[in-house]
Structure 1
Amino acid sequence: MKYELNTTEPGTVFSHFWSTCVGAGRAFEGLRTEWQQQLEMTVADCGFRYIRFHGLLCDEMSLFHYDNGTVSYNYAYIDMLFDRLLQIGIRPFVEFGFMPRDLASGEATQFWWKGNITPPMDYTIWADMLAALAAHWIGRYGVEEVSSWYFEIWNEPNLRAFWTGTKSEYFHLYEVSVKALKSVCSSLRVGGPATSNFVPDDRFEGETEDYSKHRTHLVEDLQTLKWRGVWLQDFLEFCRNRKLPLDFISAHPYPTDFALDGQQTENGKGCMKGRSRHSGSVKDDILWIRQLLTGCGYPGLEIHLTEWSSSPTSRDCSHDYLPAAVYIVKSCIDCIGLTDSLSYWVFTDIFEEAGPGPEAFHGGFGLLTMQGIKKPSYLAYHFLNRLGHKLLQRSDYHAITKDASGKLTGIFYNYPLEMTSAVPIAGYPNHTAAEIIQSTGSAVSIHLNLTGLCPDTHFSLETLDVTHGNATTLWKEFGCPKNLTREQCCQLSAFTGKLKTQTFVSDHTGSLQLHLVLEPWNIVFLSETGC
């Protein structure tokens, strides 16, 4: 691949939408010291500006109490968490869920930590609770600050695993919620429906999921199907017809034929085989949303993809290896200018939906292990955060940018052509499958001729590959211990910082010729370091 670039070109301004938001497991985990320390490091390195998590309204946060007809609120734990978030320098992307037990209409729960997933027994009391919370936050942090947050109503209500009600009941929940929040302050930004994920059939056309209408298991090639978002058109039409405020639309574009753990096996109601869609499916999904918004009379509405990863399972060994990192970079570069956020799920493996992680490298969603060891995916976001905000050149293998001072930065990556799908799932504990994926593909040669530089401009190249910065390589040398010693944690953390580095200098004419051989699943970062 040969590219020419005159670096004096002005470039096109773009936003780092990938840094808008990042996910975390649940609110209660955020009260832990290690979680907070890891988040502080992540914000500093990766530039995330908002954080979204489940469980804000669950009983362990002790907010809502209802006794003999009397409602009371205890804001202490929420205050501790939100105070610390703002101190770290990250704002809440508030997800209102799940249901406090005293307000729940049923007993159904989800996850190891048993979040109640039933509708409220009284929608007025629910609305009053949200209004009280909003008023409390405004009193504590000020209207200007709270108006800069986002408020999302529930999580993935199209899935019976997260909402035992119907589509119409969720729409009613949104209506009473947005009215309650806007009654406190009209500038609060409220949206939904946070559905997951995209489907190619009519399973969600009714009030609840119809398993008999699943179609993905009937085809060999998922790409032959036409995928679309869930409930989004109905939700937009509901808001328009009811004249309800809507500040953003949200969805979860996981690139798979299933939406959560447990669905990827035959269940007698239709089946999802645990397969991945094509490698560019997230871009397709965003373009579908943009077209829908225009057609429904909402052009320009903010799009927030509030959960996303290479798969929706917290036991996918591929999350710990290089391919996950390259998939992140590819998807983010592909989607420049198309969305307001693409929120990675999640920043840390201190995450307990299926219970605590069984070992250090268990394929958790996190950019960091439970011990705070940086995975390749973490380094991918660190590289992306260091890009400038003016795009000079982009291809399927690289992007060159310029920062406010005029210095160049660039990222090169090889998502091999042999891998036509998003990163396949390597179910825990199958690390061998993840390593096979990591060994798949061919190298790519990149020739880049930069002109218009000052003479003797210095550049640095940092390479993330199998033997540089990839913690699982050293972990394997240790014998893949389930429990790490303190010394092993220190060594692994140090290893993630030891990238391969090279330096280059432009010639007397201000030109620099780079010849890079990108091995499959490698990432290389270019930065101008001075004259």
Structure 2
Amino acid sequence: MEETKMELYLKKEMKTKRLNKHWQYCVGSGHATLALRADYLEQLKQVHEELGIERVRFHGIFNDDMQVFMKYSDLMPLPGAEQLTQLSFRKIGMVYDNILACGMKPYVELSFMPKHLASSDAKCGFYYGGCIAPPRDDAEWADFIKKFVSYLIDRYGAEEVECWPFEVWNEPDVFVFWAGTKEQYFHLYEVTARAVKEVDDKIRVGGPAASGSKWIGSFMAFCKERQIPVDFISSHQYAGDPIGGVEASEDLEAEGNPQAELPDAKAMEHLFDGLENGSVLDGVRRLMPDKSELMDIAGDGFRQNAAIVKKQAEGLPLYYSEWNENAIFSAYTNDTRKVAAYIVKAALDTEKIIDGSSIWCFSDIFEEFSEFPQEFHGGFGLMTHSGVPKSQYYALKMLAELEDGRLELGEGATDEEIGAAAFTGNGKLQILLFRQKMKNLDMPKEKAKVRVELDQEPQSVFQERIDEEHGNPLKVWEEWGSPEDLKPGDKKTLISRTKVEKEAVVYRYEEGRLVLEAELGVNDIYLFTVCL
């Protein structure tokens, strides 16, 4: 007889605690100007309505493609054209109008630097550009911020704007996003926070939004010493991160050498050998291999680091404004259910620690390395650029469906070979099972058995599952030959064939106990709902 790998026994009247769905606080997105696109907004509205996510965060609200601060010389390099300037927040207003129309609110990331306010022409290196230099003049930058905040209050009213978080910059510990030092970032935060508060001291300002949960201790010490306003702490955490690093010191202050992750000059000479007939995507994947499949990466780094940061925050609200399984754009596994299983486990493991979080990101409408034409290209999105929900979308839909009472199953319940969590409310009992691994390992399925004490037989039991055959559009797309151009009819068929459905479950009810069984492969997820 085949061994049952996991057995869960749920007794009547077990203790519960209110579930904190921190993952519904916000979601990440491609840069600001994309929020002017109809397809982006259609997907964003769907994410809000189906997943319950309340806010959206993106880089580049001050990017030069938003035409915030321009000179006539940007259009025509004529003599004297430098002196003719234009300051306009009109496009920002259009972006925020669109977000509000979707039923969501902005999570305001104050980035990047308008080039005419910058101390240098340092660029982030992404396809859409973005100046990452510190400001050339503190007073000039502060005046710019005050005008921006005043514009928002005039357009939307103080009461509305006061409920938007304002975060200063993005990952200033990473050379891709900040061309200054740690000390220069702290100074930027001080100038910016004071400027915001000068206009409206009820607006919440926070930072430092560093990668790998870093800098919180020193940031808090700096703000306390100089009595700088800080209303929340923001941080980022990925399990596999090619730039910010996946390892951290005990106090999360150690500095690595991100550029050491890049191939050396000699290796670059032969980097693309053998790809003579390859695509741009092949080149990106060669440059940035998927470390989550090549290295043994701890699956609980998010939980451990978040616990440290929670203490360092000293009672301030803690927002993880970016997190996911993998920060490696183009990684094949970003489109697999490995991400879905990680999201489920990490979200539940941190729900007592984090006040709000923002999964990176909601759609493959995303242009850091340009927008790739392949429907599945290893993008970060919950959905493809055509709007096909991936496995991780369905995982978040399962999490959205969970009732508010989480049963206390004891320490380590999510860390077993088959992890488990259970929830109750509104006449339902839900059991969530997942077999999360940091690699897509080829292993046999394992059996799980759940026994539930009940006073009477349930009215009905149904299951939702993410496995090789359910909630797995990548598999079907590859069976079709991986068509680059997904026609509207094909998109509709792909969604219909792979969406996660509620399926009736064959169960046993004997001697006051409900018995449920499942077989889980690596990174499979099952959600049982028992209607009492």
Shorter chain as normaliser: what TM range?
0.7 to 0.9
Change beyond 3 A, Cα 1:88–1:410? farther
CA deviations on 1:204-252 (whole Å, 9 max, x unpaired) are xxxxxxxxxxxxxxxxxxxxxxxxx432222111101001111111221
Match status 1:287 vs 2:284: no
Q: CA deviation at 1:406?
A: 3.9
Q: What's the % identity of the aligned pairs? A: 32
Tell me which residue corresponds to 2:151. Answer: 136
Q: CA deviation at 1:483?
A: 2.4
Change beyond 3 A, Cα 1:70–1:121? farther
Per mean C-alpha deviation after superposition, the further-off stretch among 508-517 and 440-449 is 508-517
**SS of equivalent residue, structure 2 residue 325:** coil
CA deviations on 1:169-192 (whole Å, 9 max, x unpaired) are 111110011001111111111111
Name the aligned partner's letter for residue 440 of structure 1: D
Tell me which residue corresponds to 1:334. Answer: 349
Tell me which residue corresponds to 1:213. Answer: none
**SS of equivalent residue, structure 1 residue 84:** helix
Contact 2:32 2:58 in 1 (8 A): yes
Change beyond 3 A, Cα 1:510–1:81? farther
Change beyond 3 A, Cα 1:490–1:181? same
CA deviations on 1:293-345 (whole Å, 9 max, x unpaired) are 3xxxx2x2111111112121221110101111111111111112011133211
Contact 1:156 1:195 in 2 (8 A): yes
Q: CA deviation at 1:82?
A: 0.9
Compute the RMSD of aligned alpha carbons. Answer: 2.5
CA distance in 2, matches of 1:257, 1:368: 21
Change beyond 3 A, Cα 1:464–1:495? same
Change beyond 3 A, Cα 1:158–1:456? closer
Tell me which residue corresponds to 2:136. Answer: 121
Match status 1:254 vs 2:259: no
1:43 equivalent among 27, 30, 48: 48
Name the aligned partner's letter for residue 303 of structure 2: K
Per mean C-alpha deviation after superposition, the further-off stretch among 184-193 and 393-402 is 393-402
Tell me which residue corresponds to 1:215. Answer: none
Contact 2:17 2:408 in 1 (8 A): no
**SS of equivalent residue, structure 1 residue 129:** helix
Tell me which residue corresponds to 2:63. Answer: 58
CA deviations on 1:269-293 (whole Å, 9 max, x unpaired) are 9x99944620111111111212333
Q: CA deviation at 1:139?
A: 2.2
CA distance in 2, matches of 1:515, 1:487: 37
Change beyond 3 A, Cα 1:301–1:45? same
CA distance in 1, matches of 2:351, 2:7: 22
Per mean C-alpha deviation after superposition, the further-off stretch among 486-495 and 236-245 is 486-495
- Number of residue-to-residue matches in the alignment: 474
Tell me which residue corresponds to 2:23. Answer: 18
Match status 1:379 vs 2:400: no
CA distance in 1, matches of 2:329, 2:432: 28
Tell me which residue corresponds to 1:33. Answer: 38
Name the aligned partner's letter for residue 234 of structure 2: S
Change beyond 3 A, Cα 1:276–1:363? farther
Q: CA deviation at 1:456?
A: 3.6
Name the aligned partner's letter for residue 395 of structure 2: A
Q: CA deviation at 1:140?
A: 2.1
Name the aligned partner's letter for residue 121 of structure 1: R
Name the aligned partner's letter for residue 180 of structure 2: G
CA distance in 2, matches of 1:368, 1:527: 25
CA distance in 2, matches of 1:454, 1:123: 69
Q: CA deviation at 1:42?
A: 1.0
**SS of equivalent residue, structure 1 residue 38:** helix
- Structure 2: give runs of 5+ residues left out of the alignment: 1-5, 73-81, 245-257, 267-286
CA distance in 2, matches of 1:326, 1:56: 32
Q: How does 1:304-315 map to 2 (within 5 A)?
A: 304-315=319-330
Change beyond 3 A, Cα 1:78–1:527? same
- Structure 1: give runs of 5+ residues left out of the alignment: 198-228, 424-436
CA deviations on 1:107-159 (whole Å, 9 max, x unpaired) are 12120011111111222221122222222222222222211111110111111
**SS of equivalent residue, structure 2 residue 134:** coil
Change beyond 3 A, Cα 1:498–1:287? closer
1:91 equivalent among 97, 105, 125: 105
TM-score, normalised by the number of residues in structure 1: 0.84
Q: CA deviation at 1:499?
A: 4.1
Change beyond 3 A, Cα 1:59–1:399? same
Tell me which residue corresponds to 1:409. Answer: 430
Name the aligned partner's letter for residue 308 of structure 2: W
